[in-house]
Amino acid sequence: MNDCLFCNLPEDRIIRGFEKEFQTCFLIKDQYPVSPGHALIIPDKHVESWFDLTKYDLEFMHMLANEYKETVECDGWNVGINIGAYAGQTIFHMHMHLIPRYEGDMENPRGGVRHIIPGKGYY
């Protein structure tokens, strides 16, 4: 995909990936972070959706997420994947957000990602 932002990232943007012969994904810092440490895990191959990934791809994404988690001191995490324009996906190359959360970063974090639709997260 010649016009895909994630297929054409310069190598210096990549924070972590696995050895090239086994690598299926890599990690970058989000260019527009919502919190300090916000990062993205991106599969090497161009697919639009989490549902298009293999078990092998998902295993490496999981390993990379756990590895990154150990490098960030925070109080919680939001992990998210937007699939499709109506879910907020703007770059149609699958990527997973790792968003560190910190005590006091919002008044009432209860409900977490349930707040993506205003007024629906309260229970």
User: Which residues are known to be catalytic?
Assistant: 95
Sheet holding 96-101, edge to edge: 14-17, 25-29, 39-43, 96-101, 76-80
Q: Which structure tokens are listed for 13?
A: 């943007």
| Contact by Cβ (8 Å): 52, 58 | no
Amino acid symbol at 110: R
The Cα 89–Cα 48 span in angstroms is 9
Question: What SS3 state is found at 77?
Answer: strand
The Cα 12–Cα 18 span in angstroms is 15
